[in-house]
Structure formats: C-alpha cells, structure tokens
Amino acid sequence: MEQILNPLQTSLGRLKVNSPVTVASGTFALENLDFIEQDHLGAYVCKTITRYPKKGNPPPRLYETEAGLLNSIGLQNPGLDKFIAEDLPVLRETLTVPLIVSFSGSSLKEFVQMLECLEKQEGISGYEVNVSCPNVENEGIAFGIDPDVVNKLCALLSPLTERELIVKLSPNVTDIAVIAKAAEEGGATAISLINTIWGMAIDYRNGKSRIKKGIGGYSGIGIKPLALALTYRAAQAVKIPVIAMGGIYNWQDALEFFWAGASMIALGTANFIDPLAVDKVYEGLSSFCLEKQLKLKDIVGKVNK
C-alpha cells in the first residue's frame, strides 16, 4: 500500500501549499500564531487594505448573535503606503508560510494602481481581491454583484502579476455561478467565498440596533448551509480552485466543504471562539485522511448526491 506522507497537500492556481487550512481576512492577527503550529496554515491572509487609510465605522460594530457574529468594522486599515512601509516587513519576518495580501479599491483604476504597487514588494505569494466594496464608478454598487465588472477587473489585473490572483466573492448576489465564471474568464487563478451575508439585530426592549450602522455582515455557524451550497454551485461552474469559508468550526465542517468542491478552507469566526481552531481542524483532517488512506484532493468535489 502506498505510504501517504502528507495527505493534506493542495494547490491553488499557481501556489502549492502543505495545508488546506487558511484564515479569513481580518479574523486572525499575527499574535494568534503564538497559539498554533504555523505549519498547519497553508497560507496567511492579511486584513483587507485600501488605497488610503480608513478609520472604520463608529462603535458598537460587533455583536454576538444566537448563532454567529454581526460586524460592521468598515474596513478599518492603515492604507496601502503604511501597510508597505510598516506592516509588510513584520509579516515577512514573522511568517514561514505564504502571504496572501487582501486588498480592495473604489474604482477599477485604483485596484490596478494598488496591484502595481504591491507587485514591487517582496515576500508576497498572492492576492485576495475583495470585490465586496462599493464601486464609485457605478453609483456605489459593490463590484462583486456585476459579472461584467468582475470580468473586466480580473482582465485588468491578471496580466500584471504571476502571483496567485484570488477573487473574493460576495454571497449577496442572484447567481454566484455567473460571478464565479466571470472571474475565471477574466483571469483569476482562484476564487474564495463566501464573504459575510447581510444581517441585523435589534434590542427588543427599546428598538435600538445592536450595531451602529444597523445592517452589518453576518458570519458564523448560522451561515454554514448557505456557504456550503454556494461553494458547491461555484465549484460546479469553474475549473479554478475554490477557497471556501462560512460557518466552519471544526474538521468535520471542513470536510463537508471539500466534498462540495473546495480545494482549501478558511476559518473566520471560529478564531474568535477558539485560538487553537487552526490546529484542531488541521489535525482532525490529517487523522481522518490517514485513517482512511486518502489524499484530501481525492475527495474534492466528490459529493455523493
């Protein structure tokens, strides 16, 4: 019988990794690495950066619901220049796994300008292009809900880099398969999904919204069935790899997403609950595959309907 040395090796479009576990943007600080084995991460995805600094939304901007988390952070970040000058050197020094830089722009031109700046920097293995932010060229509608805009954006960015180009898709669309296909045809090397869905919580006693902005992004265990379904639909529509996220708390959850078609999974809200979540998911997946004498890639997309 063939000895399986590392059953969890996987790959994205251009990037081979030793673990199928990563973290959702903005949910895992470098300090969290003190609690886990860094090699259990296939890659590290940093918090989304924008061209200029953002203070974010006023508090309260986090609220724990009955089955998940509402957030309205507002993409608080130091901006591209400060990220390159201060944050990137620390990331390069600290990380032993590939770094994926998540970024977002308010126009097609701004996305291009940001990528061109990042391309000049060392220590970056790939990009997560966050298309969930408003497009000022299109009346404030998010880039990610229009397949033509997603396709055009990817077509502009893909010739500029040989690094991994991941497009992070929004679930707040009519047909995720159409958006995924548009990203692939534009030159994306992988897609990731899902970003948060719309959610709200109200104090029944006085009618006050639990977060300042009213409606926020909902994540956590409550969105798992939706995330699983959208992962399956997207994976059926494209040939490029899929990074799945949404309600994944343990290795059993993760396996469901691999069966549905994901090549890699990301932990988000789980990191707030358990700082050891990455280790537990990795070790659980490894034990399962070794016990069954499976390579993880052999079950990707093999859901038994």
Tens digits of per-residue pLDDT, 205-245? 999 999 998 998 999 999 999 999 999 999 999 999 999 99
Per-residue model confidence as pLDDT tens digits over 114-173: 999 999 999 999 999 999 765 445 544 578 889 999 999 999 999 999 999 999 998 989
pLDDT in the model for residue 144: 86
Alpha-carbon distance of 78 to 87, in angstroms, equals 9
d(CA 265, CA 42): 10
Instruction: State the CATH architecture for 10-58+75-200+221-298.
Output: Alpha-Beta Barrel (3.20)
Q: Is 284 annotated as belonging to a binding site?
A: no
Show which residues are catalytic: 133
Evaluate if residue 5 carries a pLDDT over 90: no
Q: Is 176 annotated as a binding residue?
A: no
Instruction: Confirm whether residue 247 is marked as ligand binding.
Output: yes
Rounded to whole angstroms, the Cα distance separating 247 from 67 reads: 10
pLDDT for residue 213? 85
Is 56 annotated to bind ligand? no
How far apart are the C-alpha atoms of 96 and 159, rounded to whole Å? 27
Place of tokens 């595959």: 289
Give tens-digit pLDDT for 34-56: 999 999 999 999 999 999 999 98
Contact residues for 247 (Cβ-Cβ < 8 A; gap 6+): 68, 219, 220, 221, 222, 223, 224, 225, 227, 228, 253, 269
Q: What is the pTM of this model?
A: 0.94
Written as six digits, the tokens of 273 are 């609950």
Q: What is the DSSP string of 5-59?
A: S-TT-EE-SS-EES-SEEE-TTS--GGGGGTS-GGG-S-EEPPPB-SS-B--PPS
Facing residues of 198 across strands?
Answer: 217
Buried b (16+ CB within 10 A) or exposed e, 65-87: eeebbbbbbebebbebeebbeeb
Host H or E run for residue 183: helix 176-186
Instruction: Tell me: pLDDT of 305 over 80.
Output: no
Of 31, 35, 34, 8, nearest to 19 by C-alpha is 8
pLDDT of residue 263: 97
% of the chain exceeding 70 in pLDDT: 95
